[in-house]
Chain A
């Protein structure tokens, strides 16, 4: 009887020890894990929970030059879906992004890694030439592209960047119909993954400051 209880105690002790060890190991793993993947609080709201690999797409720019996934690799790409017959939100947002790019000139390393891509979801009115001319007005680092519905959807759906072309209102003359679009600025990392986003309303300093921190976090992760 005495012996049995002693055996049991030993066994219990062993079990307890095993449990304690696994808890310690788990906490240690969590802590170690946390320092690797947990982004700083200031940028966490701008990042996707997990960077999302994009599948290939093909859009068309000026002079029939195509834009494919590979063209995004090696750079940080700021992507905006809009249309040139958009008088308020589009020039405002692209103006703000252009201003953010100007602020980033102070950080030459970051500046040489950025590009802006304006994607017109209104190919009926916006030719690739028009889209490019429109985009480059806001920054020399912006390009403009468009494509047919299937080409546009191949990318926009991966970003959940919904858009709707509305039928023309009877009162509107000529070609004046409206388009609803997602006015988030999407951020694709140099590996061609959907990495972050700047939801509206954006501000130039906000984009510039947050991007610097995102890039720093990304580079730290890449060096580990």
Chain B
């Protein structure tokens, strides 16, 4: 009980820290960090978020660390026809006044060597290290991606649904 309270408190503080940093005119802003829920026996998971660069210079994300995982990499899922491939990226550049969105089926942080099973609602702290030396700590929430898929489809119904067809 106490553990959960402490965890929540820490998460709130971290969240607040990230929020206040961005509000203070700091260039990098992180939005909606989350981890795609997966069966408890998995060793590898994926995290998604949006990185906004409000500054005039490109920012380069070089490294990510999380105490919940042995290693974190930047990956991109690519479809060649119906074949799903993954590419490893050395770094991720966020151009000035632009944002990069990591989302299912595309760019993601690959969280490897899970230290313990993570369930829906769990919090995953991550530190994003930029080439400039800047560090941003965020807390990602584990959630199911299923509703995401449904919402996407509903959007498709209004616009480019035909692209969905084989």
For residue B149, CB closer than 8 A to chain A, the reply is yes
Q: Which residues of chain A from 130 to 154 have any CB-CB distance to chain B below 8 Å in the complex?
A: 130, 133-134, 137-138
Q: A99 to B145, alpha carbons, bound, how many Å? A: 10
Is B150's CB under 8 angstroms from A203's CB? yes
For residue B128, CB closer than 8 A to chain A, the reply is no
Which residues of the partner chain A approach B164 to less than 8 Å between Cβ atoms? 201, 203, 206
The tally of residues in A whose CB lies under 8 Å from a CB in B reads: 41
Is B153's CB under 8 angstroms from A204's CB? yes
Minimal beta-carbon separation of B92 from chain A (angstroms): 15
For residue B156, CB closer than 8 A to chain A, the reply is yes
Is A88's CB under 8 angstroms from B36's CB? yes
Please choose the segment from A8-16, A24-32, A174-182 that sits at the chain B interface, where 4 or more of its residues have CB less than 8 A away.
A174-182
Which residues of the partner chain B approach A204 to less than 8 Å between Cβ atoms? 146, 149-150, 153
For residue A61, CB closer than 8 A to chain B, the reply is no
For residue B28, CB closer than 8 A to chain A, the reply is no
User: Chain B residue with minimal CB distance to A144?
Assistant: B39
Minimal beta-carbon separation of B56 from chain A (angstroms): 32
Which residues of the partner chain A approach B146 to less than 8 Å between Cβ atoms? 95-96, 98-99, 204
For residue B68, CB closer than 8 A to chain A, the reply is no
Q: A174 to B144, alpha carbons, bound, how many Å? A: 27
Minimal beta-carbon separation of B44 from chain A (angstroms): 5
Q: A176 to B41, alpha carbons, bound, how many Å? A: 16
Q: A204 to B113, alpha carbons, bound, how many Å? A: 30
Which residues of the partner chain A approach B150 to less than 8 Å between Cβ atoms? 99, 203-205
Is B46's CB under 8 angstroms from A88's CB? yes
Which residues of the partner chain A approach B37 to less than 8 Å between Cβ atoms? 91, 95
User: Chain A residue with minimal CB distance to B38?
Assistant: A91
Minimal beta-carbon separation of A213 from chain B (angstroms): 14
Q: A32 to B44, alpha carbons, bound, how many Å? A: 54
For residue A171, CB closer than 8 A to chain B, the reply is yes
Q: A162 to B82, alpha carbons, bound, how many Å? A: 10
16 CB < 8 A contacts A-B: A84-B42, A85-B44, A87-B44, A87-B45, A88-B104, A92-B145, A96-B146, A134-B42, A137-B38, A172-B71, A173-B71, A174-B112, A180-B85, A181-B83, A183-B79, A201-B105
A residues lining the B interface (CB < 8 Å): 45-46, 84-89, 91-92, 95-96, 98-99, 130, 133-134, 137-138, 162, 169, 171-174, 176, 178, 180-184, 197, 199-206
B residues lining the A interface (CB < 8 Å): 36-46, 70-71, 73, 75, 77, 79, 82-86, 88, 104-105, 108, 110-113, 144-146, 149-150, 152-153, 156, 164-166
